[in-house]
Amino acid sequence: MIDRRMIWVRALAIGAIVFTLALPGMATAAPPADIKSIQTRLSFDDLVARLESAIAANKMGLVAQASASAGAASRGVKIPGNAVLMVFRNDFAVRMLAASVPAGIEAPIRYYVTENADGTATLSYRPPSVVFAPYGSAKLDELARELDAIFDKIGRDATGG
């Protein structure tokens, strides 16, 4: 007769081993193909500062900013730098909502700055045309193409590219 408890114990043990073996790969998994990533030689703090300046210089608004590394540091925990900068502008918001009220959940659009193991930083973001594509609105697609040019310029200005 089969002991069901032993089957469960073995299944759990195998699952734990598989999870443990997969864990290192999960932490370093590549971002989805629709995310633009720009590797830089800049430090994390320098890239964040340059991104903030580029946002202002391109007449967009820094709506909000969040950083798990800053939050962790406030608790005495050190993790690699990361920050999410949320960017938009009210005239674009009005046009976006006129084209698609459901698309409003996508704004503001995010840039993500991450610190690399070698002390450099990477800038990542989804182009607005990718963010708004699922809504199937010609007016929204037109707006997204305008925003693509602005977001690409902000990225180039911030990274020196």
Whether 60 is covered by a domain: the verdict is: yes
As a whole number, the mean pLDDT across the chain is 89
Secondary structure (DSSP) of 61-81: EEEEEE-HHHHHHHTT-----
Among 62, 128, 100, 11, residue whose Cα is nearest residue 2: 11
pTM for the whole thing? Answer: 0.80
Whether 74 is covered by a domain: the verdict is: yes
Whether 113 is covered by a domain: the verdict is: yes
Contact between 53 and 153 under an 8 Å Cβ cutoff? The reply is no
pLDDT band at 12 (very low <50, low <70, confident <90, very high): very low
Give the model confidence (pLDDT) of 103-134 as tens digits.
999 999 999 999 999 999 999 999 999 999 99
Whether 19 is covered by a domain: the verdict is: no
Res. 19: pLDDT tops 60: no
Domain CATH number, residue 93:
3.30.310.70
Whether 88 is covered by a domain: the verdict is: yes
Among 66, 64, 61, residue whose Cα is nearest residue 84: 66
Q: What are phi and psi of 118, to 5 degrees?
A: -90, 5
Give the model confidence (pLDDT) of 46-97 as tens digits.
999 999 999 999 999 999 999 999 999 999 999 999 999 999 999 999 999 9
Whether 6 is covered by a domain: the verdict is: no
51 is in which domain, residue-wise? 30-159
For the chain, the domain total comes to 1
Confidence (pLDDT) at 17: 53
pLDDT above 90: percentage of residues in the chain: 78
pLDDT above 70: percentage of residues in the chain: 81
Res. 13: pLDDT tops 50: no
Whether 148 is covered by a domain: the verdict is: yes
Tokens at 115, concatenated: 């610190």
Whether 22 is covered by a domain: the verdict is: no
